[in-house]
């Protein structure tokens, strides 16, 4: 297999189990004539099917040229070097000070209301 960690495979397996359960619920909802429930579970089934499909493509990439090209197409390219930038933190610090003042004023207001 091609650079696949055990953790990735475990998450893909868990996601596949959840997707299978969602697709089973779609089957039950369609048989019960519940179209609203079927659409909801189909959406969740599609969501949870993405990770297992990508894992399967990566596993099959070592055995087939078609899947190797597909894996190369959908895999992100490594990021180039980026320069480090300093983000200004004064806005965050100002927001924290404002929140602290609001909390202190509320505490003072509650204590005054008790007496």
- Report angle CA 80, 60, 9 to the nearest 5 degrees: 75
The pLDDT value given to residue 50: 94
Q: Is the pLDDT of residue 18 over 90?
A: yes
The pLDDT value given to residue 37: 75
- Residue among 58, 78, 77 at smallest CA distance from 69: 58
The pLDDT value given to residue 2: 62
- Residue among 46, 51, 64 at smallest CA distance from 2: 64
Confidence of residue 89 (pLDDT cuts 50, 70, 90): confident
Domain boundaries, the chain: 6-74
How far is Cα 90 from Cα 111, in angstroms, rounded to an integer? 31
The DSSP-derived string for 37-99 is HHHHHHHHHHHHHHHHHHHHHHHHTTT-HHHHHHHHHHSPPPPPP----PPP-HHHHHHHHHH
pLDDT digits (tens, 9 = 90+) for 60-82: 988 889 999 998 898 888 888 88
Lowest-confidence region among 19-33, 44-58, 76-90: 76-90
Confidence of residue 36 (pLDDT cuts 50, 70, 90): confident
């Amino acid at each position: 297999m091609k650079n696949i960690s055990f953790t990735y495979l475990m998450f893909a397996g868990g996601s596949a189990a959840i997707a299978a359960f969602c697709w089973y619920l779609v089957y039950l909802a369609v048989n019960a004539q519940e179209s609203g429930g079927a659409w909801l579970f189909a959406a969740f089934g599609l969501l949870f099917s993405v990770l297992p499909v990508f894992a399967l493509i990566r596993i099959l990439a070592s055995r087939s040229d078609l899947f190797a090209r597909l894996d190369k197409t959908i895999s992100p390219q490594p990021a180039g070097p980026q320069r480090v930038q300093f983000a200004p933190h004064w806005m965050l610090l100002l927001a924290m000070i404002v929140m602290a003042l609001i909390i202190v004023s509320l505490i003072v207001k509650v204590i005054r209301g008790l007496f």
